Structure 1
Amino acid sequence: MRKISYNQYQFKVLLYDVPKKIFILLFLFIFTLILLYINLEKSEQIAKKHERLKVSESTLFIDNILDMKKDDIPKNSIFFLDTTRMKSPNKVRDLTLRQACSIESAAVTNENVKVFIVLVSPYKTLDQVKYTPAMEAILSYKNVHVNSMNLLQFSADALYDNFVANGNLLKSRFVKQHTSDFVRMLILIKYGGTYIDTDMIVRKKLKDLPSNFICRDHGFLNAAIIRLQNNLGKKVGKLFIDDLIRNFNGSEWGWNGPLMLTRVLTDLCQTSNVNEMINCNGFHVLNEDICYPINGLEWNQLFNEQHASKVLQSVEHSYFVHFWNKLSQHEKIACNSSAAYAQLARKFCPKTFSLCHEYF
């Protein structure tokens, strides 16, 4: 029997152990890769779920609304629009405290409803916004989502791109307002839901209101709030947008909004008297007490402490309070004010109002 030296013995043991060690190392390597993959998948899912990926301390990445699955936008959703970039395409948008207050009030009073802020750009999709304290406040609500919209792309998806491409909308004297008149109809026809202007405080849950409605505003029709749901809503929405395109006038502020609504509903309701428009074949015109208890001639009472008690009493049963930003935007209101608007803001948009330093 041939003797084996110690060195030879060590070499044979090493040859025996090498495959075993390689197997163990390979197993650990594969296991580590699997864990890394799982963690990466979870991180991506979380980022996608919340759609709030901060790209820096001052900016927020937002998705194009067309990239979202239609099922992720329920038919009872609430929509707010920002069309500022239609006039200043390169401007990175941030919200004023009063705009943020409107959005927060909708989220607070309708906590089980998704609230979307859609930032509209003419041809280029906006992918970042300022991550301001106001934006942070409203995004602290799980039901609030911010999305961008490329208007040409979105209108093409809705088969209305010729109207955008011909340039008349961009040449409008009131491009922000007229774009909003157009887009609110597009978005409600596509998804269904409720559109609300960013100068409204929402006081109540909206689920008890009719499936399809607009509101009467002291002898006029006002599209600051409009709901279109189901097939009837889509049909009426197409009547609105077809009239807007056919009769578009870029030099008159209300021509493509209130006057367009009046033209369509005069036919649908079989009356030209706005006060007689109530239920037009299932499409409802709600009265002032629900939507506009404070009219455009009384807006300053909202900001006047002496009228606070009277105003709060008049809005007690309303679903909305319109604070008429076009008229009131330069009206300063102190953080400690007892005016009706300040009291409403403290109650219905507490996080936004807490950001007030001197004036709100």
Structure 2
Amino acid sequence: MMQQPIHGAIDYAELQQHGLAPSQIYDFSSNVNPLGTPNFIRATLANVDLAHYPDRQCLALRAALANHHACEPAQLLIGNGSNELIHLIARALLQANDYVVVIEPTFGEYAYASSLVGAQLIRYQASAETDFQVDVVACCRLIAQYRPRLVWLCNPNNPTGSYLPAQAIERLQAACAAVQGYLVLDLAYADLVVGDRGSGIGDRETEIGDWESAIGVEKSLSSPQSPAPNHYTIYLYSLTKSYALAGLRLGYVVAEPNIITALRHWQPQWSVNSLAQAAGLAIMANPTWLAQNLGQWWTWSDQLRVELGQLGLRVLPSCLPFFLVEVQNAAQTRSALLQHACLVRDCSSFGLPSFIRIAPRQPHQNQRLLAAWRTLCSPQF
């Protein structure tokens, strides 16, 4: 059995060992909005009655999301973060010895959840030499050869920030449909992509618009686009990154009703607490907030990329505000920066021992990271 994946964010036991308090740490390891939780969500949560059980079916939130996605509530399942939903998908749809294709490097829970069911993992690995761009033709060959029950794809991808445009997604959808397998399309970061940020993928604004039209992805909650139904595609969404709700956990799946019914069978009652449901409804009632504030997030990210590059570091192109930085030894770099109260993501667990992932924070925090790196000032990092 695989070991549980390693994730970013603060490890409180580790900080205890180093004699550090969580309040001292500048966390660049979590891909969470550096603007923090919006005030309209905080105000909503203050009025939630904690004495009552949550709505076990999330009826109000499902209705709001169904209206947003122009689908039926029966096509939606709300989860305690997308992590729970990943495990529900694996449990509900996989059997022992089913083939599963994982397009890597990517979020470790896809492979882990599949392995817990006894599935056989077929791994496609993108390389640093091509800035982790995915060879869709090679992926389609794997799908035709192994006829997998599931194909896991994070797009835009974590941790690499790579992106597959509409035509590539359509090819993967067609390949999955041909073998009656499901493409699980994790869109946790889709609404963070704006304009051309030098990722080397061309006119991303145009491509994203084409992608929305093709597969029904909304760039932000203010978008009027409706999802295009696809029987063999399962769309996975997260609200924790964009709205800084990692402590609440909130995600959802859009899929055919029979898939939702199968997932619901495995989900515990009251899985989504009242605070998370209230936060989701507040987000739906304020659909333009992210679009209005996303530019600030990107400005801080662009500034940090430039300044890291000025230190002589190789910063990889990314269509997302977070990005990879090449180092000689990721574990050593993480450890050295932690001594300066800066936590970065060692990407060794992604199979990338010479890369760390940086999620930008606000300018004064970013300057703390830059100062720490200047202090290291050693070629071995």
Instruction: Select the structure with the greater relative contact order (CA < 8 A; seq sep ≥ 6).
Output: 2
Compare CA radii of gyration and give the structure with the larger one: 1
Structure 2 length normalisation: TM-score? 0.26
